[in-house]
């Protein structure tokens, strides 16, 4: 449309975010069809190599270069159906970081941008490529949308040494009680088996004595002993 860089208005960064959304950068709605025409237009306006002032220390040049990186990263998301779906559903892949300057515009190929490099494999499910930061942003957005409490990172909870020692002693007592019960059951079983063996031996001994008492001579005892051996 012939607008110059000075006429182009960069979108404001929402509160709590580090940069505008990909849709805000290109000025389109979420359900709009993405066109590369706007991307090429912004590349011509913000590409560092096309800038007249190329002093790296110039704040204006640094700002322009950072915005160009965001333009390339936003293009990588909106031009790829898989990445765009992941961003729409989970907010995945957009944390304010972008590709190195010129990587997308020069190669003409899809670059990972702020995504993990595994996004190039479209066969992978999108949830396998999301980072912890992506999931935290997703849950924060869902909680905000549902009107629930914020899911900001919580401070770690530590246990006092005295509580930890008490817990260890408690489990040690439980373990000792269980082992004592098992040992007592095993002891009762051994005592029961011992009594059975003793009772059986006593009965056998009484029977032998009764049989021996009815025998009169030595020869009869020998005959009885030989019968027991058979």
Residue with tokens 């290109």: 26
pLDDT of residue 170: 92
pLDDT of residue 169: 93
CB-CB contact of 86 with 79 (8 Å): no
d(CA 205, CA 201): 6
d(CA 58, CA 227): 119
pLDDT of residue 164: 87
pLDDT of residue 22: 92
pLDDT of residue 111: 40
pLDDT of residue 110: 41
CB-CB contact of 109 with 80 (8 Å): no
For the chain, the 3-state helix, strand and coil shares in percent, each to the nearest 5, are: 60, 0, 40
Taking only the tens of pLDDT, the chain with its 230 residues reads 444 444 678 999 888 788 899 999 999 998 899 988 889 999 888 887 776 655 555 677 788 888 888 999 999 999 999 999 888 888 888 865 444 333 343 334 444 444 433 444 444 444 455 566 777 777 777 777 666 555 455 666 777 888 888 989 999 999 888 888 888 888 888 988 898 999 888 888 888 777 777 776 777 777 777 877 76
pLDDT of residue 23: 92
Q: At a CB cut-off of 8 Å and minimum separation 6, what does 20 contact?
A: 10, 11, 12, 13, 14, 70
3-state secondary structure of 196: helix
């Amino acid at each position: 449309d012939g607008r110059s860089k000075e006429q182009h208005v960069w979108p404001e960064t929402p509160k709590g975010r580090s940069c505008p959304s990909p849709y805000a950068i290109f000025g389109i709605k979420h359900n709009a069809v993405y066109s590369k025409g706007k991307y090429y237009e912004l590349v011509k306006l913000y590409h560092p190599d096309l800038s007249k002032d190329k002093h790296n220390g110039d704040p204006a040049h640094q700002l322009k270069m950072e915005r160009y990186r965001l333009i390339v990263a936003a293009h990588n998301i909106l031009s790829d159906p898989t990445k765009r779906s992941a961003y729409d559903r989970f907010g995945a892949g957009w944390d304010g970081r972008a590709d190195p300057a010129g990587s997308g515009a020069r190669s003409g190929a899809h670059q990972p941008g702020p995504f993990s490099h595994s996004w190039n494999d479209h066969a992978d499910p999108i949830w396998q490529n999301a980072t912890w930061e992506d999931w935290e942003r997703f849950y924060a957005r869902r909680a905000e949308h549902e009107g629930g409490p914020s899911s900001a990172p919580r401070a770690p909870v530590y246990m006092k040494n005295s509580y930890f020692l008490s817990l260890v002693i408690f489990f040690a007592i439980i373990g000792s009680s269980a082992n004592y019960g098992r040992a007592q059951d095993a002891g009762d079983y051994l005592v029961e088996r011992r009594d059975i063996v003793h009772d059986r031996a006593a009965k056998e001994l009484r029977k032998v004595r009764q049989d021996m008492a009815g025998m009169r001579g030595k020869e009869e005892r020998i005959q009885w002993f030989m019968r027991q051996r058979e």
